[in-house]
Amino acid sequence: MKKKLIIGGAVFLMVLGVAGFALDGKSDEKKVRLEKIVKGDMEESLVFEGIVEPKETMPIYIEASAVVDKILVDEGSEVSAGDSLLEFSAGSKLELERELQMLDLDMKSVEMQIEDLNSGSTKLELDNKQLEIKSLEEEIKGMNRNLKVVSFEAQTFRQQADVKMDLLKQQGVSSVEANEALSDANRKEMELEDLKTSLDLSRQKYELMVLSYDRLKRELNLQENNIKGNLKKFALKRDDLAEKLAKVGEPLKSPIDGIITGIYIEQGTPVRAGSRLMEISKMGENKIKMEIPVYQAKWVIPGQKATITMRESAEDVTYDGKVESVSKTAKVVKTGNYEDRIIEVEVSLENSQGLKPGYATTVEIAGNSKDQVKLVDSIAVMEENGKNYVYVYEGDTVKKTLVEIGAKTLSKYEVLNLAEGTEIVLNSYQVQDGDKVEVLQD
């Protein structure tokens, strides 16, 4: 009897142990909620992820070489027109001041050159030539007057000589008198020819002197124009330097109300004139940029309405928009070992207040309605390396299963490859492939 009691007690303890093990094992099972794949109607829509980008950016350049002393803003900072963005070093200001002083000295030198032109040797030479030309003009005028007199005298003397030669033939005058009249006529005609020759030479000399004067005057004018041109260039450069000095000498200001979308310099580094320092986008003027798979691009066309949901706020905030453009060319994107071809799409917003560049959004583009298609809750679908998976409930375990997705809405996905009635784990983030699970009953 005592032996039976001992055996019975041992059996009882074994039963308790097995029961306890069973209870402990069940306590390790993960609790899941299930949903069956069922047929239903859906308003087809395409759901993509998008990034907020500025609709238009304003680049800010530096007009003079300088050293950045302090950067007063960060990417994403909101600024108002007139806010300080960065400061330049004192050395940058001193360098511009030195350039300005050197330029002032150059301008004074040029001004002295202009004064020298107006009173220097070239100007004196020009004045002397002008006097010589006027003197020669008077000389030529006198010679022209004298030419008329000598020409008349030569004609008169020749007539008188001819008369006396005729009288000599008739023995009306002596040969001495006739020869004397002939000599006077010849001398006067020679005087006339000499006067004509001198007049021609004076006229040639005058023409050469005028040409020389004009050439010298052109040279003087050219020198003056060049020097005055240099002076004008120096004056413009001085104004430019003075403007740059004023800008470098005070903090760089924002030209508009907006958001800093790019900073391309570092504190303490030198930057060259013409370098891009920053970019600012206007406040509230944004767009959504998406990269969608090529196979879905055929359903997206410009003009389609879109609903944009901001994912980075405590509560869902939605915005209305429309598809603005769809790229006509695809590009290849690599994610790990996975490669996909995508199309870039831009969505415009009716009002983007509250959105900032870089924010992540969900974009739902309205499409056609579909009747009686197999549906699964969107939260049950996981995406890994460009593929979609769900956990299918089989007995008391779950199996990670590839699922092909068709149309999408924010809450429901169309299932293409799994049977109606298949039980899917909703809280898929809590389980792994092959886990034993306990189904929670609603």
Query: Is the domain of 148 the same as that of 36?
Result: no
Averaged pLDDT, 301-329:
86
Q: Is the pLDDT of residue 4 over 50?
A: no
Averaged pLDDT, 3-25:
38
Q: Which helix (H) or strand (E) holds 273?
A: none
Q: Whole-model pTM?
A: 0.47
Angle at 349 between CA 345 and CA 354, to 5 degrees: 120
Query: Is the domain of 210 the same as that of 307?
Result: no
Q: Is the pLDDT of residue 371 over 90?
A: no
Query: Is the domain of 184 the same as that of 218?
Result: yes
Averaged pLDDT, 344-356:
86
Q: What's the pLDDT score for residue 163?
A: 92
Q: Is the pLDDT of residue 7 over 60?
A: no
- Report residue 19's pLDDT band, with 50, 70 and 90 as the boundaries: very low
CB 412 within 8 A of CB 426: no
- Report residue 20's pLDDT band, with 50, 70 and 90 as the boundaries: very low
Give the tens place of pLDDT for each residue, 98-151: 888 888 888 888 888 887 777 777 778 888 888 999 999 999 999 999 999 999
- Per the DSSP assignment, residues forming a β-bridge with 51 are 289, 360
Query: Is the domain of 133 the same as that of 179?
Result: yes
Q: What's the pLDDT score for residue 5?
A: 32
Query: Is the domain of 229 the same as that of 103?
Result: yes
Which residues lie below 8 Å from residue 17, measured CB to CB, with a gap of 6+? none
Query: Is the domain of 376 the same as that of 413?
Result: yes
Q: Which helix (H) or strand (E) holds 116?
A: helix 90-119
Which residues lie below 8 Å from residue 282, measured CB to CB, with a gap of 6+? 54, 55, 56, 58, 256, 257, 258
User: What percent of the chain shows pLDDT beyond 70?
Assistant: 92
Closest CA to 344 of 302, 281, 390: 302
- Tell me if 388 is assigned to some domain: yes
CB 412 within 8 A of CB 18: no
- Report residue 314's pLDDT band, with 50, 70 and 90 as the boundaries: low
Q: Which helix (H) or strand (E) holds 246?
A: helix 175-248
Q: Which helix (H) or strand (E) holds 89?
A: none
What is the Cα Rg of the chain in Å? 53
Which residues lie below 8 Å from residue 140, measured CB to CB, with a gap of 6+? 199, 202, 203, 206
Closest CA to 389 of 399, 400, 373, 378: 400
Q: Which domain holds residue 225?
A: 97-247
Give the tens place of pLDDT for each residue, 355-368: 888 888 889 887 77
Q: Which of 49-53, 183-187, 283-287 has the lowest mean pLDDT?
A: 283-287
Query: Is the domain of 309 the same as that of 412?
Result: yes
Tokens for 394, please give them: 């089989």
Q: Is the pLDDT of residue 432 over 70?
A: yes
What are the distances in angstroms from CA 54 to CA 58, 150, 259, 318, 424?
10, 98, 9, 18, 41
- State how far the Cα of 401 lies from the Cα of 389, in Å rounded to an integer: 5
Give the tens place of pLDDT for each residue, 182-218: 999 999 999 999 999 999 999 999 999 999 888 888 8
Q: Is the pLDDT of residue 17 over 80?
A: no
Query: Is the domain of 315 the same as that of 272?
Result: no
Residue 427 is part of a domain; what is its CATH number?
A: 2.40.420.20
Could you tell me how far CA 323 lies from the centroid of its own chain?
A: 26
- Per the DSSP assignment, residues forming a β-bridge with 414 are 375
User: What secondary structure, in 3-state letters, does 132-201 show?
Assistant: HHHHHHHHHHHHHHHHHHHHHHHHHHHHHHHHHHHHHHCCCCCHHHHHHHHHHHHHHHHHHHHHHHHHHH
Top mean pLDDT of 83-92, 124-133, 144-153, 269-278 is at 144-153
Report the domain count for the chain. Answer: 3
Top mean pLDDT of 12-16, 103-107, 176-180, 336-340 is at 176-180
Query: Is the domain of 232 the same as that of 373?
Result: no
Query: Is the domain of 77 the same as that of 146?
Result: no
Q: Is the pLDDT of residue 419 over 90?
A: yes
Residue the block writes with tokens 């695809």: 330
Average pLDDT, the chain: 85
Higher pLDDT, 130 or 407: 130
- Tell me if 339 is assigned to some domain: no
Q: What's the pLDDT score for residue 21?
A: 37
Q: Which of 5-9, 48-52, 244-248 has the lowest mean pLDDT?
A: 5-9
Query: Is the domain of 221 the same as that of 241?
Result: yes
- Report residue 10's pLDDT band, with 50, 70 and 90 as the boundaries: very low
- Tell me if 9 is assigned to some domain: no
Residue 146 is part of a domain; what is its CATH number?
A: 1.10.287.1490
- State how far the Cα of 289 lies from the Cα of 358, in Å rounded to an integer: 10
Angle at 131 between CA 126 and CA 136, to 5 degrees: 125
- Tell me if 46 is assigned to some domain: yes
- Tell me if 201 is assigned to some domain: yes
- Report residue 323's pLDDT band, with 50, 70 and 90 as the boundaries: very high
- State how far the Cα of 436 lies from the Cα of 442, in Å rounded to an integer: 19
- Tell me if 327 is assigned to some domain: no
Residue 276 is part of a domain; what is its CATH number?
A: 2.40.50.100
- Tell me if 11 is assigned to some domain: no
Angle at 365 between CA 359 and CA 367, to 5 degrees: 170
- Tell me if 14 is assigned to some domain: no
Query: Is the domain of 61 the same as that of 145?
Result: no
